[in-house]
Structure 1
Amino acid sequence: MMTAMTTAYTHGLTLASDAILSWTHRYGSTTSCLARLRGTRDPAAADRLLLTVVLSELRGQPRGHYVLSDVAGAANSARAQLVPGSVDPGAITWLVHHGEFSSADPTGPESLTRVDLRWTLDRYSVPAWDEVTRLNYDDSRRLLAELRLRPVEEVLDAMPWDIPRPRQDGGDTGPHQG
């Protein structure tokens, strides 16, 4: 049962976009993740887009500079760089995606964490821990399929890498790099 995901919009996708998102992490270094936007038209208002943003953690980031440790910073950057201006920032569903592409030492199947971010005036604020929900593996697998997300490695391989490619060594297991 996916009660935690009742507001992830997946039926009748009208927007699908993948990009590398880079931002200055709150701990100081530039960090990157794979950002994937999936949108549907709101059945109650045809001019409104319901958006789900999936931020896939990529291995090789500086130690401690993970998406979940600065999800508000990642969301603020995604909002400024990738999200259509017509989308209500308070109505976006934010998911953080982990899997073997996230760490040199993967710990299990792909998983999703839902983060309920609050939009105040002009930015997202750091969520409280009760606003962060890790979905179980079955719900994660089902939602990933509904969002029609291709495997992370396949998306990365298809990108024209004229921007720095994430390090493939275990940058997240070595000394701080920044």
Structure 2
Amino acid sequence: MARRVLEDEIAQAAVSTALVSWRHESGRDAVCLARLMRPCTGTAAALVLSEIAKNPDDAGIASDFPGAASAAWSALGRAADADPSRLSWFAHHGPFSSHGPTGLDTLTEVTLVFDGARFEGDLAGHTPLEPKAAAGLLDGWQLEPVEGALVRLGRA
């Protein structure tokens, strides 16, 4: 669950941001940064879940994306009146995801099905984006850097 939700307006969208936690399918507590973007134009909303280094290695978002998505939806989606069947989902990894050196930010598009209560899916629904496509989406979304969002949430 999220304790605090940041609400921001950027040029092309309203963005809700929260640090969400859930019980990972591994049985461990897990956390990620969730950002729901609701475009001002008619395009569908997108929810980006960013892996943060705080998570234990066996409790990452990729291995339990439906659990992370369900927690993010509870924290952000219901209040935003977004349609869960029309959301685009992305796993976001980068230097903020690990304590060791990493490369550029990456995005993986994730296909999920909403059963009315929670999201379902598996690794077969994960499609890594090419670096150029990922950079284009990240640039277009104009999201606040993960570290900055964590500071604003009081979780740096």
TM-score by length of 1: 0.74
Q: What CA distance in whole angstroms lies between the structure 2 residues aligned with 1:121 and 1:70?
A: 18
Q: What CA distance in whole angstroms lies between the structure 2 residues aligned with 1:136 and 1:67?
A: 19
Q: What CA distance in whole angstroms lies between the structure 2 residues aligned with 1:153 and 1:128?
A: 27
**2:53 matches 1:59:** yes
**Structure 1 vs Structure 2 CA RMSD:** 2.0
Please give the residue correspondences for 1:121-140 in structure 2 after superposition, counting only pairs within 5 Å.
121-129=116-124, 131-140=125-134
Does structure 1 retain, via aligned residues, the 8 Å contact 2:35–2:48? yes
CA deviation after TM superposition for structure 1 residue 30, in Å: 1.2
- The one-letter code sitting in structure 2 at the alignment partner of 1:118 is V
Task: Give runs of ≥4 in structure 1 deviating > 3 Å.
Answer: none
**2:34 matches 1:35:** yes
Structure 1 residues 95 and 13: alpha-carbon distance in aligned structure 2, compared to 1, 3 A threshold: same
- The one-letter code sitting in structure 1 at the alignment partner of 2:154 is P
1:92 corresponds to which of 87, 94, 103:
87
Aligned to 1:16: 15
CA deviation after TM superposition for structure 1 residue 109, in Å: 0.6
Aligned to 1:148: 142
Say which structure, 1 or 2, has more relative contact order (CA 8 Å, 6+ apart): 1
- The one-letter code sitting in structure 1 at the alignment partner of 2:130 is N
Percent sequence identity is 34
Deviations 1:80-137 (A, max 9, x none): 12113532211111101000110122331110000011112422112251x2110111
Query: Helix, strand or coil for the counterpart of 1:84?
Result: helix
TM-score by length of 2: 0.84
Aligned to 2:108: 113
Runs of 5+ consecutive residues of structure 1 not aligned to the other structure: 1-11, 44-48, 166-178
CA deviation after TM superposition for structure 1 residue 42, in Å: 5.7
Runs of 5+ consecutive residues of structure 2 not aligned to the other structure: 1-10
2:96 corresponds to which of 98, 101, 106:
101
Does structure 2 retain, via aligned residues, the 8 Å contact 1:72–1:126? yes
Q: What CA distance in whole angstroms lies between the structure 1 residues aligned with 2:100 and 2:87?
A: 31
Q: What CA distance in whole angstroms lies between the structure 1 residues aligned with 2:50 and 2:123?
A: 21
